[in-house]
Amino acid sequence: MNFSLIFFVMFAVFAIIFLFSVIKIVPQGREFTVERFGKYTKTLTPGIHILTPFVERIGRRMNMMEQVLDVPTQEVITRDNAMVKVDGIVFIQVMDAAKAAYRVDDLTYAISQLCMTNLRTVVGSMELDEVLSQRDSINTRLLHVIDAATEPWGIKANRIEIKDLTPPVDITNAMARQMKAERERRAVITEADGEKQAAIARAEGAKQAAILEAEGRREAAFRDAEAREREAEAEAKATAMVSEAIARGDVNAINYFVAQKYVEAFAELARSPQQKTVIVPAEMGALVGTIAGVGELVGLAKEQQHVRTDARQAARAAAPAPTPARPAASPRRPGGAVPTTE
């Protein structure tokens, strides 16, 4: 009885081991290689598979998902003899499980060393300024080289990125000073441009103000000249009328003209701000005589006005029909002034 139980247990264990060695389940994102007596025969894709017992076995379990590998930090001498520390990362993916399993030993180490050597080559062929400013160019060149080198291994290099670039301390300080000097230069240029624009704006404003002021002065001068011209015309007419009266021998006109100038001169003397006491250096009798002459002129003008009015009334009475009569010319008074109707 005990022998039967032991046999049954041994058979069950043997059956379980047999089943696990024959039935294989490949998870998603993985591929298994199958070896028959140590030779590669096929690749198992994700799913369940049955192997030939005691003949076939699983060789390599390959990860088919995209993987990220670190490129160790290393010191590289650039073309202009500057020492920089460079590291990066590379994104790879296994495209052919059989090639990746049997054409290269230690795939991760091989790709890491390949990236390091090519990184030295690419960075060493460039100057420091190019290395610091052209990371995209370095990434593109590295990707092209690594992808071509790993293609026989069944590996696809998707991306390579430079993670860090560290120049020496003295070069970093020099770059900081250079950047500061460049910033100061730009600030000075910007400030100078601002002052230039402000000076131009002020000059334009002064120019416009000068133009407007000149136009104002020209307009004022034109107005003053026009006023003086009209005043001169009026003065000329008055002088001509007085001259006609003088030519006819009218003494009252002369007295009127002299009296007008005398009164204007006396008024100017009285309006002087420095004059507190007005002394009249003339005889008052002459002024009275002049004013009397003016009075006679006014009386003569009134007489002529009455005579003209009577003549108009007589003409209207003698006219046979009420036809519109042309007004007679107004007689001139002595002195050239025309009397007005009161």
58 close to 26: Cβ distance less than 8 angstroms: no
pLDDT at 336 over 50: no
**What average pLDDT does the segment 71-97 reach?**
90
Residue ranges per domain, the chain? 21-62, 65-167
pLDDT of residue 249: 62
pLDDT at 235 over 80: no
pLDDT of residue 30: 93
Cα separation, 240 vs 237, in Å, equals 5
Give exposure, 133-169, as e/b (b: 16+ Cβ within 10 Å): eeeeebbebbbebbeebbeebbbebeebbbeebebee
More confident residue, 261 or 171: 171
pLDDT of residue 64: 92
What is the side-by-side order of every strand in the sheet holding 39-44?
A: 39-44, 30-36, 56-63
pLDDT of residue 33: 93
| Architecture of domain 65-167 in this structure | 2-Layer Sandwich (3.30)
Cα separation values, 333 from 126, 311, 313, Å: 115, 17, 21
pLDDT of residue 24: 87
pLDDT at 61 over 70: yes
> What does 57-114 look like in DSSP terms, one character per residue?
EEEEEEE-S-EEEEEEEEEEE-TTS-EEEEEEEEEEEES-HHHHHHSSSSHHHHHHHH
pLDDT of residue 323: 47
The residue assigned the tokens 């071509």 is 148
The pLDDT tens digits of the residues spanning 198-229 come to: 999 999 999 999 999 888 888 888 888 888 88
Cα separation, 294 vs 257, in Å, equals 9
pLDDT at 338 over 90: no
pLDDT of residue 69: 92
The pLDDT tens digits of the residues spanning 243-275 come to: 776 666 665 666 666 666 666 766 666 666 665
pLDDT of residue 131: 87
Q: From the CB of residue 182, how many other CB atoms can be counted at a distance below 10 Å?
A: 10
More confident residue, 324 or 93: 93
More confident residue, 293 or 120: 120
The pLDDT tens digits of the residues spanning 16-48 come to: 877 777 888 899 999 999 999 889 999 999 999
pLDDT of residue 82: 85
Cα separation, 302 vs 330, in Å, equals 13
**pTM given for the model:** 0.51
**What average pLDDT does the segment 227-240 reach?**
78
Cα separation, 333 vs 298, in Å, equals 9
**What average pLDDT does the segment 58-87 reach?**
90
pLDDT of residue 292: 55
**What average pLDDT does the segment 50-74 reach?**
89
pLDDT at 74 over 80: yes
The pLDDT tens digits of the residues spanning 279-335 come to: 555 554 455 555 555 555 555 555 655 666 666 666 666 555 444 444 444 444 444
pLDDT at 339 over 70: no
The pLDDT tens digits of the residues spanning 132-152 come to: 888 888 999 999 999 999 999
**Three-class secondary structure of residue 189 per DSSP:** helix
Distance of CA 151 to the CA centre of its chain: 53
